[in-house]
A = this chain, B = another copy of it.
Amino acid sequence: MKTRGSIQTISFIGSGNVATHLAAALQKAGHRIVEVFSPNIGNAKQFAEQFGCLALNSLQNLNTKVDLLIIAVPDAKVEAVAKAIHQLKGIVAHTSGIIPMSVLEGTRNYGVFYPLQTFTKDRKLNISDAPFCIEGSSEEVEEKLSELAGKISHSVQFVNSEQRKHLHLAAVMVSNFVNHLYGISHDFMESKQLDFDLLLPLIRETAAKVQDISPEKAQTGPARRNDEQTLKSHLKMLKNSPENEELYRLFSEQIKKKYNE
């Protein structure tokens, strides 16, 4: 069975950060949000109120006539959800970076609608900046999903499941790990009665630099210039926090090796 026309009506499984940001952008672009399912009916109701849709806490009651059902649940739950839903008239797509499209094979028309961005509750986000990584069970599904993505973002990419999982890993490194370095520095600064805000311009400029030049060209610092005296002095400051010391040692060794050998 073929799907016809563009996507108009959309339902969500999941009411978390990704679902909320997507629903807001899609509704603003003129699409109708029909239903939302969450195992926590309170969360579903809150989402439903925000987008004027129905709240469900049973997958059995899902309206199967929507054009698109977006599964935006934690990665570990995508497969179980996929198995629990009925056949749909439209497309079923998940939003996960790491889960292969093939977990949706039990459905008729399926795909992936993965926004490569970090979503935080109660934080406004310019979703039009986020690259949407699209994959589809057929060319027609890919076309429809990319047409939809193009309405809310200026960056739409076709990315297969194998590439997507590598992309997701790289995303974890430049976002989750980078944020952990911010967190370590935050705690370290606090422990020395220093204001973390002093680092904010540096954090901005470090991210801004690689928008224009390669990270290799942008690399600076004591390890980059093989400044053993400073490296020793820093390690000495960290001798009471073995975890940070280990991390410092690992980064410095890797940077020295990459640039000075």
CA distance A129 to B217 in the complex (A): 22
Q: Are B198 and A174 in contact (CB under 8 A)?
A: no
Name A210's closest neighbour in chain B (CB-CB).
B182
Q: Are A202 and B174 in contact (CB under 8 A)?
A: yes
Q: Which of A125, A177, A224 has the most CB of B within 10 A?
A: A177
Name A216's closest neighbour in chain B (CB-CB).
B183
Q: Are B206 and A194 in contact (CB under 8 A)?
A: no
CA distance A199 to B131 in the complex (A): 8
CA distance A165 to B188 in the complex (A): 12
Instruction: Confirm or deny: A227 has a beta carbon within 8 angstroms of a beta carbon on chain B.
Output: yes
Instruction: Confirm or deny: A240 has a beta carbon within 8 angstroms of a beta carbon on chain B.
Output: no
* Min CB gap A85→B, angstroms: 21
Of B116, B173, B192, the residue contacting A201 (CB under 8 A) is B116
Q: Are A194 and B180 in contact (CB under 8 A)?
A: no
Q: Are A206 and B247 in contact (CB under 8 A)?
A: no
Instruction: Confirm or deny: A170 has a beta carbon within 8 angstroms of a beta carbon on chain B.
Output: yes
Given the complex, which residues of B lie within 8 Å of A218, measured CB to CB?
118, 120, 179, 182
Instruction: Confirm or deny: A29 has a beta carbon within 8 angstroms of a beta carbon on chain B.
Output: no
Name A97's closest neighbour in chain B (CB-CB).
B230
Q: Are A167 and B194 in contact (CB under 8 A)?
A: yes
Instruction: Confirm or deny: A250 has a beta carbon within 8 angstroms of a beta carbon on chain B.
Output: yes
Within 8 A of B (CB), among A180-220: 180-186, 188-189, 192-194, 196, 198-220
A interface: dominant SS = helix
Given the complex, which residues of B lie within 8 Å of A130, measured CB to CB?
201-202
Number of identical monomers bound together in the oligomeric complex: 2
Given the interface pairs A200-B210, A207-B204, the reply to whether A173 lies near B184 with Cβ below 8 Å is yes
Instruction: Confirm or deny: A64 has a beta carbon within 8 angstroms of a beta carbon on chain B.
Output: no
Given the interface pairs A169-B238, A204-B207, the reply to whether A176 lies near B254 with Cβ below 8 Å is no
Mask: chain A, 150-177; 1 = CB below 8 Å from B; 0 = not: 0000010100000101111111111111
CA distance A220 to B182 in the complex (A): 13
Instruction: Confirm or deny: A119 has a beta carbon within 8 angstroms of a beta carbon on chain B.
Output: yes
Of B170, B216, B230, B246, the residue contacting A250 (CB under 8 A) is B246
Q: Which 6 A-B pairs have the closest CB atoms?
A: A176-B221, A207-B207, A183-B215, A182-B215, A170-B185, A166-B192
Q: Give A residues with C-beta under 8 Å from B.
A: 74-76, 98, 116-120, 123, 125, 129-131, 155, 157, 163, 165-186, 188-189, 192-194, 196, 198-225, 227, 229-230, 233-234, 237-238, 243, 246-248, 250-251, 254-255, 258
